[in-house]
Amino acid sequence: MTSSIYAAKPWLGQLTEAQKAEVHPPVSVPHAFRDAVARVPERTALAYFDGRIGYREADELSDAVAAYLAARGLAKGDRLALMLQNTPHFVIALLGAWKAGAVVVPLNPMYKAYEVGHILADAGVTAVVCSDRAWAGFLRETAADLPVQIVLTACERDLQTRDDRRVLDFERLPQAEDAADLLTVARAGGVAPAGREFAPDDIALIGYTSGTSGRPKGATVTHRNICHNAERQRAGHELPDGATIFALAPLFHITGMVCQLAASIVGGGTLALAYRFESGVVLDAFLEHRPAYTVGPATAFMALGAHPDVSPGHFASFAVISTGGAPMPPALVDGIEQRFGHYILNGYGLTECAAPCAAVPPGRRAPVDPESGTLAVGVPDPASVVRILDEDGAEVPFRTTGEIAVRGPQVVPGYWGLPAATAEGLPDGELRTGDIGFMDEDGWLYVVDRKKDMINAAGFKVWPREVEDVLYTHGAVREAAVVGVPDSYRGETVKAYVSLRPGSSVEPAELAGYCKDRLAAYKYPREVEILPELPKTATGKILRRELRSRT
């Protein structure tokens, strides 16, 4: 029996015939950007607090950056590291790098010297664009022994005038002697070099994985990968031309890069930015920019819903809201719909498939598996094949758990400089995700958990997600994460970490008992620890590995 959606109900999640006629992924993101400049030159491309940049101006600024990079020796295919928050500087530098023919290496601004040093060396980076604070703080020293030849820095307070100290709590530093100022370069004018256009299968960026097992690996994301999913976001979510997309996910992450930035460019829309996530600032930005679409992790929506000033009016402009990064607990989806009138559309993807490979189609509701209580993450992209495999690589029957495997136009060709890892993780071009899930007879995909996160309690399998979903139904719980901890009798036992909603109070024993009443005896947490906040990545994923290290 096959677990492919095409053997189930191929109509589920498919585009309409009218939508199919409109789906023409561009050759590359720079190609899509130039199309938008030609069509809507005066439309706002970037909105940053009270600052606005139109398509024509963004084109001129990024052309000048490309000219500068080329004049200083950046060749087509060279790698440029980009380490900035959600600001117009990020977009201008990204477009300038691509116009110059560079392969972009996005970096998390929260990375420390050790993490950045590994990536710069592994990717062979020769140019860096970063904040002036990062360059002065540690990047100059980190890059000293590496072949970095070109450095552009930016003060991210620029391009807006609002004094919002909640997120912009820094001042401009004196310009570094060994770096050029990004905006000075961009405003100096210049013509992007000719002959550096990308083909669809050229590498657009190297997205480094989070390194949950071993050192981070660089996934070689092509322009075809990005453009396919960007166009799917626009057409699949039925976003109108010129729609405003709010960048809730960070742009350095594949979700923000593809589902927000690239999707906005493909649709000739406005990308609204607010530096980095702070729930009060984001809610203010929703009212100011009136976005039609956003995508973010479950933890972001938890934080927005917990803000004391939040109201349905903050969400009134949205046509579609979706989530990615980690599956949404059913209780959170229901709670947001009841409070704010929006049903959040689940989605599933990885860096290796340029963000989404499955999503809940607009107008449909994801089913909840009656046995596990798991909410479906969607149906596969119509151009993709998603299979569920056992440990020997054979397909399993419907509703049987196994490793999720993906093949399609969004799947990357491999890992940078790692042929053995490519052969193992992408055999014959099919991505072995490391995620455990199952499909039902109607083609809905369910993600149970990461393969490595399974808890073995006296021989019984416990998937943390199932326990976490139960905890989220308790009225006092804001965030939950479940891990396995050593146990002398059972080998491993279940431990839960939770943070509480503002003003709530509950004892650990009460939460353990709540789960005991709703789960099999081997699944409920024997230990519950309440923390003020759970550790997270910059993209909002709760870090189970950090919680394991506490035991």
**8 Å CB contact between 277 and 227:** no
Residue identified by tokens 């909603």 is 501
Q: What DSSP element (H or E) covers 259? A: none
Cα 236 from chain centroid (whole Å): 18
Asked if residue 168 has pLDDT above 80, the reply is no
| Most confidently modeled range among 90-104, 197-211, 226-240, 383-397 | 90-104
For the entire predicted model, the pTM comes to: 0.84
| Most confidently modeled range among 7-11, 134-138, 160-164, 173-177 | 134-138
| pLDDT classification of 466: cutoffs 50, 70, 90 | confident
| pLDDT classification of 171: cutoffs 50, 70, 90 | confident
Any idea how long the chain is? 551
| pLDDT classification of 5: cutoffs 50, 70, 90 | very low
The average pLDDT across 24-38 equals: 90
Cα–Cα distance measured from residue 352 to residue 433, given in angstroms and rounded to the nearest whole number = 8
**Topology annotation, domain 454-548:** GMP Synthetase; Chain A, domain 3 (3.30.300)
Cα–Cα distance measured from residue 198 to residue 504, given in angstroms and rounded to the nearest whole number = 54
For residue 365, what pLDDT is reported?
94
| pLDDT classification of 10: cutoffs 50, 70, 90 | very low
Phi, psi of 457, deg, nearest 5? -105, 100
| pLDDT classification of 545: cutoffs 50, 70, 90 | confident
For residue 491, what pLDDT is reported?
75
Q: What is the dihedral of CA 435, 233, 346, 277, to 10 degrees?
A: 90
**8 Å CB contact between 494 and 455:** yes
- Which tokens in the block code for residue 425? 């993780």
For residue 404, what pLDDT is reported?
95
Closest C-alpha among 354, 233, 348 to residue 297:
348
Higher model confidence: residue 448 or residue 220? 220
| pLDDT classification of 416: cutoffs 50, 70, 90 | very high
Asked if residue 44 has pLDDT above 70, the reply is yes
Task: Measure Cα distances from 84 to 10, 22, 61, 180 in Å.
Answer: 41, 33, 17, 15
- Which tokens in the block code for residue 131? 């904040």
Asked if residue 326 has pLDDT above 80, the reply is no
Closest C-alpha among 347, 359, 346, 428 to residue 389:
428
Query: Facing residues of 487 across strands?
Result: 491
Residue range 1-27+223-249+262-415+428-451, CATH number: 3.40.50.12780
The average pLDDT across 97-103 equals: 98
The average pLDDT across 25-36 equals: 91
Range(s) within the chain of domains with CATH label 3.40.50.12780? 1-27+223-249+262-415+428-451
Asked if residue 40 has pLDDT above 90, the reply is yes
Range(s) within the chain of domains with CATH label 3.30.300.30? 454-548
The identity of residue 341, as a single letter, is G
Q: Pick one of 3.10.20.30, 3.40.50.980, 3.40.50.360, 3.50.50.60 as the CATH number of 29-40+47-197.
A: 3.40.50.980
Range(s) within the chain of domains with CATH label 3.40.50.980? 29-40+47-197
In 193-285, where do the E strands start and end?
Answer: 203-208, 218-222, 244-246, 270-273
Higher model confidence: residue 17 or residue 499? 499
Q: What DSSP element (H or E) covers 490? A: none
Convert the pLDDT of each residue in 214-259 to its tens digit. 578 999 999 999 999 999 999 889 899 999 999 999 999 999 999 9
Task: Measure Cα distances from 50 to 17, 273, 432, 502 in Å.
Answer: 40, 10, 44, 31
CB atoms within 10 A of CB 257: 30
Cα–Cα distance measured from residue 413 to residue 423, given in angstroms and rounded to the nearest whole number = 10
